[in-house]
Amino acid sequence: MSPVTSMMLSFGEASITKNILNDAFLKLHKPNRKGHFGFCIEKKNFDGELFDDLLDYFDRFSCTQKPTPENLETLINNIAHKEYIQRPKYATNNMVIGCQDYVLSSE
């Protein structure tokens, strides 16, 4: 479980800032890719193989928007939110429903 997910479960979703999400994504998802993201964010360089790598990587997360210098940080934030907030919340909710069904069916 990622530290962001632990924070969300402990303190609520409102405690997670965009910076926390972005940092967690860049640190925990393929650290060798952080250089690519960092370079794109800092240098606003979206040329050649680097851009192809970004497209391939974002495609793994079902990102349908084309990354640009203007929207890269927003896209990273959206992906991080999906991975660290939405997916764990969905899984937790399904576990609760499953447990309720089990308990109610055993009575």
Say what the pTM is. 0.68
Tens-digit pLDDT profile for residues 44-98: 667 767 777 778 878 888 888 988 878 888 888 898 888 888 887 777 766 667 7
* Half-sphere exposure (Cβ direction) of 42: Cα atoms closer than 13 Å: 6
The domain in which residue 19 lies consists of: 3-105
Number of domains present in the structure of the chain: 1
Distance CA 58, CA 75 (A): 9
pLDDT recorded at residue 32 = 53
> The tokens of 105 are what?
């069916």
In this structure, is the dihedral angle defined by the CA atoms of residues 16, 32, 70 and 82, taken in order, positive or negative?
Answer: negative
